[in-house]
Amino acid sequence: MGDLGNARLAKCSEELKVRETVQFIEEKREEGFEPILFFGIGPHEKHRAENLREFYAHVPLEPVETRFPMIEIYKEDVDVKPIIVKEWKIRLPRMYDLGFSHANCGGRCVRGGFKHYALLYKVWPDRYKQQEDMEERFRQKFNMNVSILKKDGGPYTLRQLRERFEHDPQYLEDLLSGNVCDVEDTQGAPCVCTFA
């Protein structure tokens, strides 16, 4: 059985980040090291720090120490983007300029919400189509009525959303401006760092 992934469940992130981290920890321990995990999350994500601390206290064979220097040092979030650009002279990934909340996975994040996919459709319709096709292949292969997005408590496919954009361009603009109340949006749901 496959997992398509959505705002609550992101198998991709578990495989890419969490499983690799746990394996790395165990490998390093076998080499005689005692790893410490540092997470770069800020004060507004304190709740994630608790989850991470709890997770890494139990999931590896032995508990592993976790540290959160940005939470320990700063009381409020620091906007690091101007520092990176102006002081360090490093350009940010273009996705930030385009309005995305993060630059992961080329905009095809399974934890993105309606606004995220509206933006992807507007700036990169080809990528939107790739994600739409992936979702369709998944639905056919596993014969399941599932989707990345949810609406009215049920599946709402990227194909449905694209077709609505094509018939009602104002809906696209309303989603982009946040002027829509018929969807429970999840834009900005972070890429997970623990198993669900």
Positions in the binding site for ligand SF4 (CB under 6 A): 10, 12-13, 16, 104-105, 109-111, 191
The distance of closest approach from Cβ of residue 134 to ligand SF4 in the complex, given in angstroms and rounded to an integer, is 11
Nearer to ligand SF4, 12 or 119 (CB): 12
Nearer to ligand SF4, 111 or 115 (CB): 111
Nearer to ligand SF4, 105 or 183 (CB): 105
Strands in 39-111 per DSSP E? 65-67
The distance of closest approach from Cβ of residue 131 to ligand SF4 in the complex, given in angstroms and rounded to an integer, is 10
- The span from the CA of 162 to the CA of 82, in Å, is 35
- Over the range 9-43, which residues count as b (16 or more CB within 10 Å of their CB) and which as e? ebbbbbeeebeebbeebeeeeeeeeebebebebbb
The distance of closest approach from Cβ of residue 24 to ligand SF4 in the complex, given in angstroms and rounded to an integer, is 17
Name the residue with the smallest CB distance to ligand SF4: 191
**Can you tell me whether residue 65 is helix, strand or coil?**
strand
- The span from the CA of 43 to the CA of 49, in Å, is 9
The distance of closest approach from Cβ of residue 115 to ligand SF4 in the complex, given in angstroms and rounded to an integer, is 15
